[in-house]
Amino acid sequence: MQDNKNSDTEIVPDDCQMGWDELRNTVLTLNLSVAQIEMSMRDGDQSVSTLIESFTTLAHSMRDIGVTVDGLDDSESDSNIKGEIKESVNVASSKVSAAVIAFQFYDKLSQRLTHVSSSLTTLINLVSDKEQIDSHNSWKELRERIRKTFIMVDEASVYEQIIDGVSIEKAIEKALVERDNEKDKDKEDDGDIDLF
């Protein structure tokens, strides 16, 4: 009779299996991150839609008030009140304009989060495929697909620098400087006439 117990043999888990378990956990964590981004964007979209509708109504109301005030008689006693109303309408209109600019920021933020979500999903698909994970071509294609999603100049700048091994902090810092320089250049170019 053979003894199935061998006290000298240590049971070692398959290294490949351990690696795939860790990779699976990484994929699950990435999936969670993508889900959180998507949920946040949906919540934000609902709130912003409500705000846009409110500010659109406000803008129309401000315009209507301005038209009504302009139609009032210019009697001496009403002249001061009319001026105060017009001033209030102008202040409210400028606040509505500032809100519109804030919505543009949200739109840019939403685009960036969409790019992050898309990039993470593409990465998840690659690392969860046992055949593709070790393929250099698959990783190259992944980088190219991710790069194509970055349509904003500062995003592309950060991407290029990160791929070149620059730290996240330095890449962001450099991209912000480049963006500010581009804004300054645009301001200078606005009044200039280009001669050829």
At residue 4 the predicted structure's pLDDT band, cuts being 50, 70 and 90, is very low
Distances (CA, A) of 91 to 94, 95, 97, 98, 187: 5, 6, 10, 11, 26
pLDDT confidence of residue 196: 31
pLDDT tens, position by position, 74-131: 776 677 888 888 888 889 888 888 888 888 888 888 888 888 898 899 999 998 888 8
Determine the Cα–Cα distance for residues 164 and 151; give it in Å rounded to an integer.
Answer: 19
pLDDT confidence of residue 167: 92
Residue 178 confidence (pLDDT) above 80? yes
pLDDT confidence of residue 76: 64
pLDDT tens, position by position, 22-41: 888 888 888 888 888 888 88
User: Which helix or strand (DSSP H or E) is residue 40 part of?
Assistant: helix 15-71
Question: What mean pLDDT comes out for the span 172-195?
Answer: 72
pLDDT confidence of residue 99: 86
Place of tokens 């400028």: 94
Determine the Cα–Cα distance for residues 97 and 91; give it in Å rounded to an integer.
Answer: 10
pLDDT confidence of residue 21: 79
Determine the Cα–Cα distance for residues 13 and 135; give it in Å rounded to an integer.
Answer: 25
At residue 47 the predicted structure's pLDDT band, cuts being 50, 70 and 90, is confident
Cβ 37 vs Cβ 117: under 8 Å:
yes
pLDDT confidence of residue 164: 92
CB atoms under 10 Å from CB of 38, counted, come to: 14
Distances (CA, A) of 126 to 117, 136, 143, 182: 14, 11, 11, 36
Instruction: Name the most confidently modeled range: 8-17, 131-140, 181-190.
Output: 131-140
pLDDT confidence of residue 46: 81
> Which residues have a Cβ under 8 Å from the Cβ of 99 and sit 6 or more positions away?
51, 55
Show the tokens assigned to 34.
């993508």
